[in-house]
Amino acid sequence: MAFENFNVKENYPGKNLTTIKVGGPIRYFFEAKTKEDLLEVLKEAKRNKIKFYIIGSGSNLLIKDEGFDGLLIKILFNNINFLDDKKVFTDAGVFFSKLVDELAKKGIYLKFALGIPGTIGGAVYGNSGGQTEWIGDFVEKVFVIDTNDFQEKILTKEECNFSYRKSIFHEKKHLIITGALFNFENCNYKKDEFLDFLKYRRQTQPLSEPSFGSTFRGVSVDKLPKDVLENIVEQFPEEKNKINEFFEKGIVPAGWMIEKCGLKNFQIGGAKFSEKHSNFIVNVGNANFNDVISLINLAKQKAKEKFNIDLETEVQII
């Protein structure tokens, strides 16, 4: 039998593993407290031809109602080690907020990361941050286990191929992030900006409600044809200045489009687009996967009709 010598839980409720509190049973669930645990359980899964999936804190994750018929591994190892005042190594299981706190103690204010839930593994995977600033900027090296040969490898920042909410790890699912080395030498945010940003986040995002953060990626202006951009301006002449700001920044926010499609506050079952931030879907009571995916599909359809734009999901779905 698979996983006999491991502390694996069977048919674990997936909704307990995601911040939106949605998801069916996980066939096998394992918490990796050390890198060695992780390596051994991955080998056992391979021996038994059982598919696996890695999670950090499930804050960018949506699990289907039928659950996941494989091994789900939550990374818990969480050492943090400053090599000097600007350089720090963190295990993949370190909370992003813990890193932000430790940096602030040293006078480094990682503004865009303030209030982002999740682990360093999840942050590196999704290049977490804002629309134009992200964690990948400060990565020097990423440490991985390659599940093709179970060797530990080191990727340089360039090899990680970071871009807006993307990294090489989206394509190379066989690479499991175990830690990262960061260099914050060029992090020049001021303490005031940092504190103001937290206030702004609290005012504009439904942080106390169950969600997975942004549902869709913002849309890159340079990927949109001229007629699509002109159509946006023509439809909302009263918001010309705001739209010009989007164009200058290079991103049309998905939340703005969802609002203009009339979906702010729109609810299906127990899930709704938040009143505070239209790109956030919140679980207002026993939402299931179908409620959430119906909202996602509706927004995609409406954005296509109204703007001729294909919205791309930011949340990872299994």
Q: Which is nearer to ligand FAD, 54 or 257 (CB)?
A: 54
Q: Cα-flanking dihedrals φ and ψ of residue 70, to 5°?
A: -170, -160
214 catalytic? Reply is: yes
Q: Cα-flanking dihedrals φ and ψ of residue 6, to 5°?
A: -120, 150
Q: How buried is 64 (Cβ within 10 angstroms: 0-12 exposed, 13-18 middle, 19+ buried)?
A: middle
**Which residues ranging from 225 to 264 are in contact with ligand FAD (CB under 6 A)?**
none
**Which residues ranging from 11 to 30 are in contact with ligand FAD (CB under 6 A)?**
19
Q: Which is nearer to ligand FAD, 209 or 239 (CB)?
A: 209
Binding of ligand FAD by 197 (CB under 6 A)? no
Give, in degrees to the nearest 5, the angle at Cα 126 between 124 and 129.
85
Q: How many residues bind ligand FAD (CB under 6 A)?
A: 32
314 catalytic? Reply is: yes
Query: Contact with ligand FAD (CB under 6 A): which of 14, 23, 136, 213?
Result: 213
Q: Cα-flanking dihedrals φ and ψ of residue 44, to 5°?
A: -65, -40
**Which residues ranging from 151 to 180 are in contact with ligand FAD (CB under 6 A)?**
169, 176-177
- Which one from 59, 214, 274, 278 is the annotated catalytic residue? 214
The one segment of 29-37, 47-55, 259-267, 304-312 that binds ligand FAD by CB under 6 A: 47-55
Strands (E), the chain: 9-13, 25-32, 52-55, 61-62, 68-75, 80-82, 87-91, 139-146, 151-156, 175-183, 211-214, 219-220, 251-252, 267-268, 271-273, 280-283, 316-317
Least distance (Å) between residue 266 CB and ligand FAD: 19
Binding of ligand FAD by 274 (CB under 6 A)? no
Catalytic residues: 165, 214, 314
